[in-house]
Chain A
């Protein structure tokens, strides 16, 4: 197992090299000049323009810039934002935790409600509650995030004044409710449908019949034997979704004015603030790799037949 984990961690190196290289090439190819975006619309002296390019190292050939960046990366230096003059590390340290907290809140809703709804509609297949849940989840999957967010803001924030409309405020739980519900809505529906399908599949298996015949209660059969086995694809989905949510829920962050990393990177792309884009993407890669690893490890827990790092005899 340890070998497996170490091997997986080392796998991040080619991924990182590939992604940073790709980003460098892309940024070189797409139109847009960071110096122009930095100095504003008003004309500046061409000598001064060249000087700033030089200071930012943009006058060097792109492969030199890339090697230079890799060298800094080895020293854990993500560089300085062109636009803000602040260290990228500092900006990301400030923003990532906010995105992670919001993502965790959303995942919590996904897990609790997604699984519960999925199980109920699978057990009570074709009942009224199953139809309602299936219909609602179909609608939720299709609803655009900004629209749902706006509706929740108007209803709970403006009309009822129950919940804060935007921002993180003092960081208390109430500030998380509307953005995490918005963020989770689509995924709750998706998880519910996934669980439902998987449960229907699993509940038809022989071992479930065996479990019933052993005299176990329905509760025990559903949760211990049914759900646990139905969860593998669900865990994969949730793990990847968590990665995606942490990497930035740009729309939700925009609508709820959430100081997260997604919006930060989005703006950095528009401003051609390369160090922020690269730094943000690198951190995201690590998060993804780590979460993927967690997901893989959790398979072993969910399905005892799965073992890593040992050749079958």
Chain B
């Protein structure tokens, strides 16, 4: 599936895909994409602007079965809410001006919108194929990428693709690709060891070190080469502790800062994640455009200062504080981290009790602001800072994704300003200031940045596993 634009797998920079060019009006509310001529769907028909209009409306429509959980990407588009509520069939902000021109009107100014349209989920869809048989389309989608479905997808077993010879971009080297779906990463890894898989996404826990000894570690963490086959590069995602900023105690920034300073991120990264995940230095993970490694004033381990701040907050040695509830979704491998956090906080006199919950109950609990300290994580959809800072920390998003219930007028003002700033450099600076403000307030406590734990066989060439977890398979070949 090729969307309007794409990202360079190593630098995350925008590159054209189906759209050869794009521009916006002065306030970034209306975007015009010029489509490449001659790009084709796997059924041989040319991709036209109307196909994007159809695909995007299909994602937003509540009638799509099952309802799409990625519809939120299109929330900035005018008319999205009306379609979601069933008041309209199509988004008023989407227009195919002609076969090769797509115009998108947004509800608000959004200079980074072009990154949003790079998401693979926003690729075009041929209406005639969906309408012929929606069920069959679900099992054998017709797209426009370098590979096409070779046969209907076997749920929970495999997806087989073959080369699409009419692809507009670089012609793939491989004749086909088979994605095998595993229930257990250990089984997948055994298949890899037996040489039956060319690439395995997850080295099971406890086996990173031996894997690196056996196959060698990739230099940049993303590119596989013979003898440097283990990929441990950072992913665009952050694991953090969500502090309820409206809590009677946790609304005190000094207390939050003390908590942040008490967390031994190095130890958590090393012992629990075998050194693969890296201690978080801020909110925005590396790989994101505008990442800075020096943002988090309190993202370090300093017990003395933690104790000092705790005393300044009015709770010397934790006296006067209740036993905090440390909530997490049980059975998903978070117990170890939560226990480490519990022990770390105890060192400065803050007592916590662990509370593991069922997943849906947990997200509801957190979203309704019933939590005190909760596990959280954010995986970037696109490599832009807005993708994390706006939903998580803009005060109007309290009750939605701003589950730490953080509200800072200065942050709101800068976010509004950044969303209108035409100059990319200035815009990035504004977002960096926002990140710094949030971290100085210790609104939440970043713990680790996620990382790959993948491995490729020595005969695999040209494979780059991007920080966003994407692989340009058309560039991969096998030297066997």
* Residues of A with C-beta under 8 A to B187: 153, 165-166, 254-257
| Contact-size category for A | 35 or more
Residues from chain A with a CB closer than 8 A to the CB of B155 are 84, 86, 91, 94
A157 to B188, CA, bound (A): 12
The reply to whether the CB of A259 lies closer than 8 angstroms to some CB of chain B is yes
Nearest Cβ on chain B to A233's Cβ, whole angstroms: 35
Residue B459 at the chain A interface, CB threshold 8 Å: no
**What's the minimum C-beta distance from A277 to chain B, rounded to whole angstroms?**
15
Q: Which residues of B contact A168 (CB under 8 A)?
A: 157
CB atoms of A167 and B180 under 8 A apart: yes
Q: Which among B81, B186, B194 is the interface contact of A161 at CB below 8 angstroms? A: B194
Q: Is the CB of A82 within 8 A of B156?
A: no
B267 at the interface (CB under 8 A from A): no
* Interface members, chain A 63-107 (any B CB < 8 Å): 80, 82-86, 91, 94
Nearest-neighbour CB distance to chain B for A38, whole angstroms, equals 7
B329 to chain A: closest residue by CB: A41
Which residues from A are CB-within-8-Å of B391? Answer: 42-43
Whether A40 sits at the interface, judged by CB under 8 Å, is: yes
Does any Cβ of B come within 8 Å of A36's Cβ? Answer: yes
Picked from B154, B190, B193, B358, the residue with its CB within 8 Å of the CB of A31 is B358
Contact A150 B186 (CB under 8 A): yes
Q: Scan residues 244-282 of chain A and give those whose CB is less than 8 A from a CB of chain B.
A: 253-257, 259, 263-264, 270, 272
Give chain B residues whose Cβ lies under 8 Å from the Cβ of A254. 183-184, 187
Who on chain B is nearest to A160 by CB? B194
B196 on interface, CB distance cutoff 8 Å:
yes
By a CB distance below 8 angstroms, the chain A residues around B66 are 38, 82-85
Residues of B within 8 A of A51 (CB): 62, 85-86
List B contacts of A256 (CB < 8 A): 187
- Give Cα A158–Cα B193 distance, bound, in whole angstroms: 6
Q: Which residues of A contact B65 (CB under 8 A)?
A: 80, 85
Cβ of B85 and Cβ of A47 under 8 Å apart? yes
- B418-455 near A? 1/0 per residue, CB < 8 Å: 00000000000000000000000000000000000000
Is A33 on the interface with B (CB-CB < 8 A)? yes
Q: How far is the CB of A174 from chain B (nearest CB, A)?
A: 13
Number of chain B interface residues as a range: 35 or more
Q: A41-B363, A94-B155 are in contact. Are A154 and B401 (CB under 8 A)?
A: no
CB distance from B198 to the nearest CB of A (A): 15
User: B97 interface residue, CB < 8 Å from A?
Assistant: no
A94-B155, A257-B183 known; A43+B401 contact, CB < 8 A = yes
Q: Which of B86, B360, B399 has the most CB of A within 10 A?
A: B360
Q: Is A128 an interface residue (CB 8 A)?
A: no
Q: A39-B69, A153-B187, A157-B190 are in contact. Are A257 and B182 (CB under 8 A)?
A: yes
Q: Contact at A255–B357, with CB atoms within 8 Å?
A: no
Of B72, B135, B182, B360, which contacts A33 at CB under 8 A? B360
Distance to closest chain B CB from A35 (angstroms): 8
B44 in contact (CB, < 8 A): no
A37 lies within 8 A of chain B by Cβ? yes
**What is the CA–CA distance of A40 and B66 in the complex, to the nearest angstrom?**
12
A210 CA / B393 CA spacing, docked (Å): 89
Query: Measured between alpha carbons, how far is A80 from B62 in the docked complex, in Å?
Result: 16
In the complex, which residues of chain B have a beta carbon less than 8 angstroms from the beta carbon of A170?
none
Docked Cα-Cα span, A52 to B67, in Å, equals 8
4 cross-chain pairs, A with B, having the tightest CB-CB distances, nearest first = A43-B400, A36-B360, A85-B66, A40-B69
Other than the given A94-B155, A154-B190, 15 more pairs (CB < 8 A) read A34-B360, A36-B364, A43-B399, A45-B84, A48-B84, A52-B62, A55-B67, A84-B66, A85-B65, A165-B187, A165-B194, A166-B187, A166-B191, A257-B180, A263-B183
23 contacts between A and B (CB under 8 A): A31-B357, A32-B361, A33-B360, A33-B361, A42-B72, A45-B84, A52-B67, A55-B67, A83-B66, A84-B66, A85-B66, A85-B138, A86-B135, A154-B190, A157-B190, A161-B194, A165-B196, A166-B182, A254-B184, A257-B182, A257-B188, A259-B156, A259-B157
Using a CB–CB cutoff of 8 Å, the interface residues on chain B facing chain A are 62, 65-67, 69, 72, 81, 84-86, 135, 138, 154-157, 180-184, 186-188, 190-191, 193-194, 196, 357-361, 363-364, 367, 391, 397, 399-401, 403
